Structure 1
Amino acid sequence: MSTCTRCGAQFGCAMVDGSPEPCWCTALPPAVPVPQEAAGCWCPACLRAHIAAALANTQAAS
């Protein structure tokens, strides 16, 4: 189990758990950088929210 460095939630990370399967996060768009101050893994909810907000900001700026 991993702990989200953003919200503290517990979640499964295939890399940490030693799974031979790819982690759930590899299915998400890789084009959104995670801020340096948030180093570490984020839970699915936090990472999805971050991606959605970044994409909305990009679209609003266009």
Structure 2
Amino acid sequence: MSICERCGATFHCAMADPGPDGQADPTPCWCTQLPPTVPVPDGDGAVGCWCPACLKAHIAAQVLKRP
């Protein structure tokens, strides 16, 4: 399991965590289904993977900021 760098929640990241058999997870990560939002801000020290809730909130905030 991965730990969200923003809130500390645990979540599964298919790019970083092994699959159920202990081998590399062959499925695409859940985050690939979301719109890209790069770079992840590092002002609060959060520079790694974020859980689904934090990443979705970040994307929503970016959409609101667009002119």
Give the TM-score band, short-chain normalised.
0.7 to 0.9
Question: For residue 6 of structure 1, what is the aligned residue in structure 2?
Answer: 6
Q: CA offsets, 1:4-46, max 9 Å, x none?
A: 000000000001122011100000001x221134211000000
Structure 1 alignment gaps of length 5 or more:
none
SS of equivalent to 2:53: helix
1:28 counterpart (28, 34, 45): 34
Moved over 4 A (4+): none
Structure 2 alignment gaps of length 5 or more:
18-23
Question: For residue 49 of structure 2, what is the aligned residue in structure 1?
Answer: 41
The structure with more helix, counted as a fraction of residues: 1
CA distance in 1, matches of 2:64, 2:46: 20
Question: For residue 61 of structure 2, what is the aligned residue in structure 1?
Answer: 53
TM-score (norm 1): 0.85
